[in-house]
Amino acid sequence: MEFDYDLFVIGAGSGGVRASRIAASHGARVAVAEEFRIGGTCVIRGCVPKKLLVYGSHFAEELQDASHYGWSVEGMSFDWAVLRDTVLRDVDRLEVAYTATLDNHKVEHFKQRATVTGPNTVRLASGREVSAKYILVATGAWPVMPDFPGNEHCITSNEVFHLPELPRRVIVQGAGYIAMEFAGIFNALGSHVTVVNRSETLLRGYDEALRDRLLQITMARGIEYKFNCPIKKVEKQEDGSLLVWVGDHDPVPADVVLVATGRRPNTDGLGLETAGVQLGDKGQIPVDELSRTSCESIYAVGDVTDRVQLTPIAIREGHAVADALFGNNPRAIAYDCIPSAVFSQPPLASVGLTEGQARNQFGNVKIYTSDFRPMKNVFASRQERGLYKLVVDAGTDRILGIHMIGPEAPEILQAAAIAVQAKLTKADFDATVALHPSMAEELVLMR
pLDDT tens sequence across 385-438: 999 999 999 999 999 999 999 999 999 999 999 999 999 999 999 999 999 999
CATH number given to 5-143+264-326:
3.50.50.60
Q: Which amino acid is at 419?
A: A
When comparing pLDDT for 187 and 69, which is higher? 187
Distance, in Å, from the CA atom of 356 to the CA atom of 53, rounded to the nearest integer, reads 33
Beta bridge partners of 115: 123
User: Is 176 labelled a binding residue?
Assistant: yes
The DSSP 8-state label assigned to residue 433 in this structure reads: P
Distance, in Å, from the CA atom of 318 to the CA atom of 164, rounded to the nearest integer, reads 36
User: Is 375 labelled a binding residue?
Assistant: no
Which of 259, 261, 191, 177 has the alpha carbon at shortest distance from 223? Answer: 191
Predicted local distance difference test score (pLDDT) of residue 165: 97
Radius of gyration over every alpha carbon of the chain, rounded to an integer in angstroms: 24
Distance, in Å, from the CA atom of 19 to the CA atom of 316, rounded to the nearest integer, reads 9
Which of 202, 204, 234, 231 has the alpha carbon at shortest distance from 219? Answer: 202
Distance, in Å, from the CA atom of 122 to the CA atom of 93, rounded to the nearest integer, reads 30
User: Is 232 labelled a binding residue?
Assistant: no
In the CATH scheme, what architecture does the domain 346-444 have?
2-Layer Sandwich (3.30)
Q: Distances from the Cα of 141 to the Cαs of 138, 262, 264, 274, 284, in angstroms?
A: 9, 9, 5, 21, 9
**Do the beta carbons of residue 253 and residue 242 sit within 8 Å?**
yes
Residues 6+ apart with CB under 8 A from 390: 367, 368, 369, 399, 401, 402, 426, 429, 443, 446
For the stretch 126-135, pLDDT in tens is 999 999 999 9
User: Is 180 labelled a binding residue?
Assistant: yes
User: Is 262 labelled a binding residue?
Assistant: yes
Distance, in Å, from the CA atom of 169 to the CA atom of 275, rounded to the nearest integer, reads 48
Which are the catalytic amino acids?
436
How many CA atoms, within 13 angstroms, populate the side-chain half-sphere of residue 357? 15
Window from 65-74, 145-154, 183-192 with minimum mean pLDDT: 65-74
pTM of the full predicted structure? 0.95
pLDDT band at 381 (very low <50, low <70, confident <90, very high): confident
User: Is 236 labelled a binding residue?
Assistant: no
In the CATH scheme, what architecture does the domain 151-261 have?
3-Layer(bba) Sandwich (3.50)
- List the chain domain ranges: 5-143+264-326, 151-261, 346-444
When comparing pLDDT for 383 and 270, which is higher? 270
Q: How large is the average pLDDT for residues 326-342?
A: 94
Q: Which amino acid is at 45?
A: R
As a whole number of Å, the end-to-end CA separation of the chain is 66
5-143+264-326 and 346-444 share one CATH topology?
no
Distance, in Å, from the CA atom of 35 to the CA atom of 29, rounded to the nearest integer, reads 21
Mean pLDDT for all residues in the chain: 96
The DSSP 8-state label assigned to residue 434 in this structure reads: P
